[in-house]
Amino acid sequence: MKISSERKKSLDEIQLNINYKFKDINLINTSLTHSSYANESKMRIYENNERLEFLGDVVVNLVVSEYLYHRFSELPEGELTKKRATIVCESSLAFAARKIKLGEYLLLGKGEEATGGRGRESILADTFEALTGAIYIDGGLTNTREFLLGMFEQEVIYALSKGNLFIDYKTELQETLQKRTKSKIEYKVVKEVGPDHNKKFYMDVIVENKVIGSGMGRNKKEAEQMAARQALDRIGKDNE
């Protein structure tokens, strides 16, 4: 299937986001093609991402199971199963998809587009699994493991201590501070580093003119989340 130059540019962007370069660009394109888009194609030349999603589901579970097995060597099978279920769920996979902006690169049918499918958790979670399957086919288990853990390991570690995965740190910080103060929470970009295609943002979170946390991310939203997480860590230590 021929990929247009405009589509190829979008695929190049998402490859930068995930820090993985595909040998076969058709694989990543297929992983981002929803069945609604494929079904609406007049010539039916588009393959959808459902087969890759099927594979990716298995691979995500394998990588997470392997991670938990080695990290929590003292835990029995039942506890490991519970932790895996906490990690591999629709909301956490959708959060992961949002983190790398998968929704922006999805090929959706007109109906799904009109009803907000680009931001729907089920579609984002399925697409993340399809992308994982595509990386596995293209680059093998080692690259897939690096993609999953390299991008999300810190969230996994933090979330396991909190009881759930891929927490919205900004919301949690707001809820935590509401119990203490009515002051406004402000997020401020301190600096931007790097070229446009690989920029890093440094962010402070400020309450009552005091910096309570700082973070860095590949976009402003991610930097805000990381700043909020540091603020939560500091609040937790202050309460110890």
- d(CA 170, CA 144) in angstroms, rounded, equals 29
Active-site residue identified among 57, 112, 204, 222:
57
Task: For residue 105, count other CB atoms closer than 10 A to its CB.
Answer: 20
Token readout for 135 is 């990386």
* CB of 124 closer than 8 Å to CB of 102: yes
Known catalytic residue at 57: yes
**Residue at token pair 């707001």:** 174
SS3 call for 240: coil
Active-site residue identified among 53, 129, 138, 222:
129
CA distances from 77 to 40, 67, 82, 231 (A): 45, 13, 9, 34
Residues forming the active site: 57, 129
